[in-house]
Every structure is written in C-alpha cells, then in structure tokens.
Amino acid sequence: MESAEEQHGNSDPPAPEKRVRGRPFPPGQSGNPGGRPRGSKSLVNLLIEALRKRAKDGKGGEKEFYELLAESIVVNAAKGNAALVKLIFDYHEGPPPQKHEVTGIMYDGADLQQVLRQIGELMRDFVPPERWEELGARLDELDAAGAA
C-alpha cells in the first residue's frame, strides 16, 4: 500500500525543524563534537614553548628565541622599518591617546553663560521637554557657584 505522499508524487524529504536563533543544536549536543582533543596545546602555548627554546646567536653563544626576536626587532627598527618602530613605541610608551573632537560647542574664552546656553540648545534633542526647566535651574546653580 502506497503512502499519501507516494500517491501524489511528492517524494521530497520532510522539512527540517526550525531552529531557534543562537541555539542551533539540541540541548546536550555540541556544535563541534570532535573538537580539540583534551590535553592538546593551544597555539599560544605552542608559540611560548617555541620562543623559550635556545638557538645559536651567531656569536658563538646561545640565546632564547625571545631574545633573538627582540634584538631583530630593534635592529630592523633602527634600519628604518616604520612598523617595527611603531611596535616598539606602542609597547614601551603605550599608544598615543586618542583625540576626540566635540562638535557643536564653540568655546573661545566666551563667558560660561554662553557655553551653558549652547549646551542647553544641544540637550533639547536628548532631554524630554518636561525636564528642561529643572535642568535649566540646575545649570543656573552651577553658573552661580562658578561665579562665586
């Protein structure tokens, strides 16, 4: 006896169940069942081990790869490699502080009241109208305290 699907010529497999976004696998099932074997080392740990190995330094002695790498960076930076110069300064001094430009407020030594008015105008876009009076009073208090 033929099934209803066979009788109507529909031999398509049933549609897969819809999965919830962010949960593509049923509870208890891993998305990577093979995964990284237990006890295997991460790339970072392998790199650390490699950098701790000793090698000939070209002067009859031995040094760790860490030391040889550091010396190579310094020598090539001194030869003008800009990327290595930046690398050295970023690690030694830290990257330069980021500059942030605030637009919309012009302060050229004008009185504080003018600046507060400009801030108030900008804030109208972000503060509900029912709070304008309250904030205006608070700004007046701050202005008075600054003038004292």
* pLDDT tens, the chain, 148 aa long: 555 555 555 566 666 666 566 667 777 777 777 777 888 888 899 999 998 999 888 888 899 998 998 899 999 999 999 998 888 888 887 776 776 666 655 555 556 667 767 776 776 677 777 777 787 788 778 777 766 5
- pLDDT at position 20 is 61
Q: Are residues 55 and 83 in the same domain?
A: yes
Total domain count for the chain?
Answer: 2
d(CA 71, CA 75): 6
Q: Are residues 83 and 121 in the same domain?
A: no
Q: Are residues 47 and 80 in the same domain?
A: yes
* Total residue count of the chain as it appears in this document: 148
- pLDDT at position 79 is 94
Residue 116 lies in a domain: yes
Both tokens of 115, joined, read: 């600046």
Q: Is the dihedral of CA 58, 63, 64, 68 positive or negative?
A: negative
Residue 74 lies in a domain: yes
Which range marks the domain in which residue 71 is found? 43-92
Neighbours of 90 (CB within 10 A): 11
Is-contact 55 63, C-beta < 8 A? yes
* Type of residue at 96: P
Q: Are residues 50 and 80 in the same domain?
A: yes
- Measured in whole angstroms, the distance separating CA 76 from the mean position of its chain's CA atoms is 29
